Amino acid sequence: MYNSKITGLGYYVPDNIVKNEDLKEFMETSDEWIQERTGIEERRWIDPKTGDTTAVMGAKASRIAIERAGLTKDDIDFIVFATLSPDMYFPGGGVQVQDMLDMPTIGALDVRNQCSGFIYAMSVADQFIKTGMYKNILVIGAENHSGGLEKSTRGRGVTVIFGDGAGAAVLSRCSDSEKSQGKGILSSHLHSEGKHAKELVLEGPSTQRWVPEILEANNPDDVSYYPHMNGQFVFKHAIGRFSEAIMEGLEANNLQKEDIDMLIPHQANLRIAQFIQKKFQLSDDKVHNNIMKYGNTTAASVIIALTEAWELGKIKDNDLVVLAAFGSGFTWGSVMIRW
């Protein structure tokens, strides 16, 4: 069995900054209301004139990650692409990135696990490398939320939260010496609880209720094609599951909470992250949050935050880095990394 490690990181966010005050143009809200509930000050939304899409942003982030890994596109053996907002119903974003980067005819797998998508994608890539099937895997998390949000007072409870962006990591096989030092991904832990699926959901259009049926109904109160979230219910479950996933990872590796050098939580809500930080008694320099600037970018949030923390010099050799996420499904999980 081999170990896998992150050898390259990159992220991309649109240039278009949407501040809380800007949202008042099409909904009743305020900067104070949004910050009090979410901690968000601004987010990035794609300007359609730029040509950015979920796959395009994923490709931009991937080019940076591959270069930083000291590799070329021809060195990548496989792609795992996590998103809830693909450019098309099918095919998925993985094959689009393969084409955009002019890669060889390598495999491309899409992961649809929403906010925990990048955690799941990392776990999949890690297993491929552990078994020796692949040596270098490109793992992407990318989202275009702004194209599908209800930009009105009715939809503000969801719309104010989400932003667009993408991040990418190159996962590579560890050397024998790195493996002997215990470097790389130590473990991953994945869970789901589908009975709560409709508490955070986008129901249509879908094969159960396709576009013609929605159009024929012509119901102005039909919001099934916009995301729905039971905010308080999700918050309550998130703080519990976040903690469980982190503890599970620590216990699996005979580690204590004091061993955590950097926690990268999914950027769902600053209040959730602060609760987890307090529970694990982590100082500010051991947790990286950027939801204030980017909002919740779901599958992209963990990898954008991880890349940013690394760029800022917050992650050092031999650090224990913990990634954790919770979201729609419900699905949640963690990844433990010895840097």
- Catalytic sites, residue numbers: 115, 266, 296
Q: Which of 230, 252, 247 is nearest to 327 (CA)?
A: 230
Q: Could you tell me which residues are beta bridge partners of residue 170?
A: 8, 138
Q: Which of 53, 138, 129 is nearest to 101 (CA)?
A: 138
What CA–CA distance (Å, rounded) separates 299 from 130? 23
Helices 54-68 & 93-100, crossing angle to 10 degrees?
Answer: 60
What CA–CA distance (Å, rounded) separates 122 from 96? 19
Core vs surface per residue 175-211: b (16+ CB within 10 A) or e? eeeebeeebbbbebbbbeeeebeebbbbebbeeeeee
What CA–CA distance (Å, rounded) separates 100 from 254? 43
Residue 226: count other Cβ atoms within 10 Å of its Cβ: 18
> From its phi and psi, is residue 165 left (phi > 0), alpha (psi between -120 and 50) or beta?
left
140 contacts 58 by C-beta, under 8 angstroms: yes
Query: Using CA of residue 176, residue 307, residue 132, residue 72, what is the dihedral sign?
Result: negative
Reply yes or no: is the peptide bond before residue 242 cis, omega within 30 of 0.
no
Beta pairing, strands 78-82 & 136-143: parallel
327 contacts 200 by C-beta, under 8 angstroms: yes
Q: Computed over its alpha carbons, how large is the radius of gyration of the chain?
A: 19
Core vs surface per residue 48-61: b (16+ CB within 10 A) or e? eeeebbbbbbbbbb
